[in-house]
Amino acid sequence: MPTVEFEVGKARAARLERHVHLIAPLPTLHHAGLLAVASLAMTVSAASAQDVSFGQRLFHEKADCQFCHGPEGDGRGDPRSPGKAANLHKTMLGREQLIEVVTCGRVGTEMPYFDKYAYEERKCRGLSEADLGKDMPPVPHSNSLTQREIAAVVDYILATFVGKSS
């Protein structure tokens, strides 16, 4: 009987050895996987940096947010701007709320709506221009923006101004 146990033990050891050879390359694959994940994270980070850079150009040029909010986002815009704009360093609004403000403007204020279809398609709290009447936010003095551009401007505002000293 000991011979049988020994043979069974040898067979088990041989199977284990085959598995060990199959498993041995896995740490290498594991490290390659970690490198791929790290590479993906850097790509995502670079894409975010690109979005913030895109948002910066929109803030200062196409949307011309600096006209009212100032180049530093501190609310000290051009003296010819229509009113005292918010100091973006002090806003308590989160990303989704800022996207809504840029998309819809602020009812009853000089903050324009940058989505040209916002009130035609009732995207803003289900309201239309007729519903708001004289409280309708103004159209921008610059250009309207796409939803992607609005998100990029908001990401720039969050990355550059919100919660940072002016």
Residue-range domain boundaries for the chain = 2-160
Quick check: 149 and 59 in contact, CB under 8 A?
A: no
What number of H helices and E strands is found in the chain? 6, 0
pLDDT at 165: 84
Quick check: 155 and 55 in contact, CB under 8 A?
A: yes
What's the pLDDT tens digit per position in 46-80? 447 888 899 999 999 999 999 999 999 999 999 99
C-alpha to C-alpha distance for 128 and 88, rounded to whole angstroms:
27
Closest CA to 145 of 97, 113, 119, 100: 113
Quick check: 48 and 155 in contact, CB under 8 A?
A: yes
pLDDT at 106: 95
In three-state secondary structure terms, 107 is coil
What's the pLDDT tens digit per position in 74-129? 999 999 998 789 999 999 999 999 999 999 999 989 999 999 999 999 999 999 99
C-alpha to C-alpha distance for 138 and 110, rounded to whole angstroms:
6
pLDDT band at 21 (very low <50, low <70, confident <90, very high): very low
Structure tokens belonging to residue 102: 């840029």
Q: Which of 10-19, 33-42, 143-152 has the least mean pLDDT?
A: 33-42
pLDDT at 51: 80
C-alpha to C-alpha distance for 71 and 73, rounded to whole angstroms:
6
Structure tokens belonging to residue 55: 């948002």
Q: Please tell me the pTM assigned to this model.
A: 0.70
Quick check: 99 and 151 in contact, CB under 8 A?
A: yes
C-alpha to C-alpha distance for 155 and 161, rounded to whole angstroms:
10
pLDDT at 52: 87
